[in-house]
Chain A
Amino acid sequence: MSASTRDEVMRHLKAVAEIQPPVQQTGKAPYASDLTHEQYRAYLRSPHDVGGEVDVPVEWTEEESEAWGYRAYVTTECLAWRGVWCAEQRRRMQNVDLGTTQYLGLPYYGRWLLAAARILVDGGHITLTELMNKLDEVKKRHEPAR
């Protein structure tokens, strides 16, 4: 168990390096005097405001809807009916708060699901400890028997 967990941690660190944006400035957490206004504004840009950004043409493909996506969607709607959040709060959390890397890298409904979990924790409806315990319980259910 421990050895395979260490293996996973090492693979994780490698995967993180692969999704990091190219390093364009030397050093991290610069002094304020080393940051131009243009850089400041670029860093604060909302991930979902992609208009005008350099990109390549996107190939249009029709994808099958997946059941988990529908369930994620219904979950977020139920949270709205119960007054936990409104659509604009959801959009903020799933399109902006999670940052550019997650916005571009995760499946569409994956971001809805993350936002649903986040509002439940932020709103104090569940604790992060409860969420972690549940995730761990579900994960173990899907691990091969030892």
Chain B
Amino acid sequence: MSQHDRTHHAKIATGKGDPQCFKGTTGGPPKFKVGDRVRIKDLPDIFYTRCQVYTRGAVGEVAVITHESPAPEDEAWGHVDHSEWFYIVRFKQKDLWPEYPDAFGNDSLQTEFSERWLELA
């Protein structure tokens, strides 16, 4: 009964893997470089994202430029036509949690974002 598109994800990723199958699909260089100070944007929360709310508005440092892929917000409905660069951003725990103890002031946390969530701090 369904007319599902079999050229979907499974086909483009076969033999390459995901996210490797999206390499080169942003059509441009990453906007940020390793070491850049970036602030996490507070975009609207609706239906789906992988951008944890506890990071919004916090400033961290780009630790790794990881890969290109459709953003989770698009891929979660099977849209793979538009890709973004992804970054691992490193935060000081104290910058995320106001009550984090000074004794552990060097603790850090790394998590991943697509480019839409970042702006230069």
- Which residues from chain A sit less than 8 Å from chain B, CB to CB? 41, 44-46, 49, 51-52, 80-89, 91-92, 96, 123-125, 127
**Does B24 sit within 8 A of A, measured CB to CB?**
no
CB pair A46–B10 under 8 Å, yes or no, is: no
Q: Which residue of B lies closest to A52 (CB)?
A: B54
- Name A45's contact: one of B6, B10, B45, B97 (CB within 8 Å): B45
Q: Which residue of B lies closest to A48 (CB)?
A: B50
- Name B53's contact: one of A52, A82, A123 (CB within 8 Å): A52
Residues of B within 8 A of A83 (CB): 4-11
SS class, residues of chain B in contact with chain A: loop
Residues of A within 8 A of B47 (CB): 92, 96
A80-B9, A80-B10 are contacts. A92–B76 as well, Cβ < 8 Å?
Answer: yes
Residues of B within 8 A of A82 (CB): 6, 10
CB pair B72–A125 under 8 Å, yes or no, is: no
Residues of A within 8 A of B1 (CB): 124-125, 127
Give, as a whole number of angstroms, the nearest-CB distance from B93 to chain A.
12
A83-B4, A125-B4 are contacts. A49–B53 as well, Cβ < 8 Å?
Answer: yes
Contact residues of B between 43 and 67, Cβ < 8 Å to A: 45-49, 52-54
Q: Which residue of B lies closest to A53 (CB)?
A: B54
Residues of A within 8 A of B72 (CB): 88, 91
